[in-house]
Amino acid sequence: MEFDTIAAISTPMGEGAIAIVRLTGDDAVSIADRVFRSPSKKALTDVPTHTIHYGNIVDPKTEQTVEEVMVSIMRAPKTFTREDVVEINCHGGIASVNRVLELVLTNGARLAEPGEFTKRAFLNGRIDLSQAEAVMDLIRAKTDRAMNVALGQMEGRLSKLIKRLRQEILETLAHVEVNIDYPEYDDVEEMTHQILVEKAKYVQKEIEKLLQTSQQGKILREGLSTVIIGRPNVGKSSLLNSLVQENKAIVTDIPGTTRDVIEEYVNVRGVPLRLVDTAGIRETEDIVERIGVERSRQVLKEADLILLVLNYNENVSEEDRQLFEAVRGMDYIVIVNKTDLPQQIDLDEVTQLASGRPVVTTSLKEEKGIDDLEEAISSLFFSGNIQSGDLTYVSNTRHIALLNQAKQAIEEALSGIEQGVPIDIVQIDLTRSWELLGEIIGDAVHESLIDQLFSQFCLGK
């Protein structure tokens, strides 16, 4: 497959130690050679693959030096895109790297679209679609656990499992075809049904095992939307600051200080939390605070986890009871804060209101109880243990949807067998499952979906 040569800046824009302009395509080396001058006078077209060379980038029209660089040459097929790749390492200034890119573009390259380098790796068979999506997951990973899941998918752990399941289905379909075409034996129909049931149940079980990891995988990939709620001045902002370990929220003794929603990502024992500190939910005449309270009620509806904060130094109020009612049926943890003050709250009543949800006592002022809270969060979603090194996690929403559809097709095939549906009808459901699994790795996927997926990538990746 032949493509034109593309180029882009592959490092974040701004000041830094280095910046990289990357090219890929059949003419990548010759285009770089037009703007590169080496002290040794050696052309880049003559150097060995996978070598790096010192020199200057110049404007070929004037021979004026633009930048001092190191140029890496990597020839196909042993590259990320399976095409010739050139990486020009510049100083990390905005003006200089943009000038180098401009010269590369005016000398034959085209500006790459977002994700086009990874898209070429996919189209050239270097990686499959699930591995390509894992590249962006790796870039966006916010914890070591999430990074390990993305690395496992990039290395093809999910791909290998999906390909094995598709092969099982394909072999089963082929076996059925042979039995239909050559029905010499009296028991051929019984044998065919038995083979179909055994293989379909095996594939169904493997898909179910993958789907069992989907909740944890999705959490590791996207993070838990975690909302901190409670009456004003119970310590919500202090809790945010303790988890973030920075003074992100204003902490005062004045009720209603937090007027808006404050968001921050934190890593709690490998679980990424998108923490949202809300304005205290209460009736108020203050117009600005009331807007904050309404926003708090809205984010509460969208949360994956609620941290409900109570005051150890006060009795459970009617407002507290209303908060318990508001989070009924959700995943939440009760935090009784300010244990450094004299106890007024009835902890038995709190336990009863919590209805089996975890209750943790803290003194955020004295930095006590945070470890217990982190353990409660981890245990609530991961039974206290995240086995990202041992399991093939499914974290991508698209993959989860396709696996559910493939599982449904397998179940329909099994139901058809039990009801005595003709084999050729059962084959349709099995074939549908095979196709759906193929969409995960890109063996059967529309071009428009491919374009949409890669458009979400950053420029230069």
340-353 pLDDT, tens digit per residue, is: 999 999 999 999 99
Domain with CATH 1.20.120.430 in the chain: 131-213+394-445
Tens digits of per-residue pLDDT, 46-88? 999 999 999 999 999 999 999 999 999 999 999 999 999 999 9
* Contact call for residues 113 and 82 (beta carbons, < 8 A): no
Domain with CATH 3.30.1360.120 in the chain: 6-112
Closest C-alpha among 300, 302, 272, 245 to residue 395 = 272
Question: What pLDDT is stored for residue 390 in this prediction?
Answer: 47
Winning range, highest mean pLDDT, from 199-213, 286-300, 389-403 = 199-213
For the structural domain made of 131-213+394-445, what CATH number should be given? 1.20.120.430
Q: In which band, very low, low, confident or very high, does the pLDDT at 262 lie, cut at 50, 70 and 90?
A: low
Winning range, highest mean pLDDT, from 175-184, 258-267, 285-294, 366-375 = 366-375
pLDDT mean over 190-213: 84
Which pTM was predicted?
0.64
Q: In which band, very low, low, confident or very high, does the pLDDT at 178 lie, cut at 50, 70 and 90?
A: low
CA dist list (Å): 69 to 36, 46, 64, 253:
9, 18, 14, 57
Average pLDDT, the chain: 81
Long-range contacts, stretch 433-436, CB < 8 angstroms, 24+ apart: 433/169, 433/203, 433/406, 433/407, 433/409, 434/166, 434/169, 434/170, 434/173, 436/402, 436/403, 436/405, 436/406, 436/409
CATH class name, domain 223-382: alpha beta
CA dist list (Å): 161 to 78, 98, 128, 219:
25, 43, 13, 21
Higher local confidence (pLDDT), 448 or 318: 318
Question: What pLDDT is stored for residue 255 in this prediction?
Answer: 40
The label of the residue with tokens 């995943």 reads 331
State what percent of residues in the chain have pLDDT above 90: 33
Domain with CATH 3.40.50.300 in the chain: 223-382
pLDDT mean over 184-190: 55
Winning range, highest mean pLDDT, from 169-183, 222-236, 321-335, 336-350 = 336-350
Pick the CATH number of 6-112 from 3.40.1390.10, 3.40.50.720, 3.20.20.150, 3.30.1360.120: 3.30.1360.120
pLDDT mean over 18-24: 94
Tens digits of per-residue pLDDT, 266-292? 777 777 787 876 554 444 444 444 545
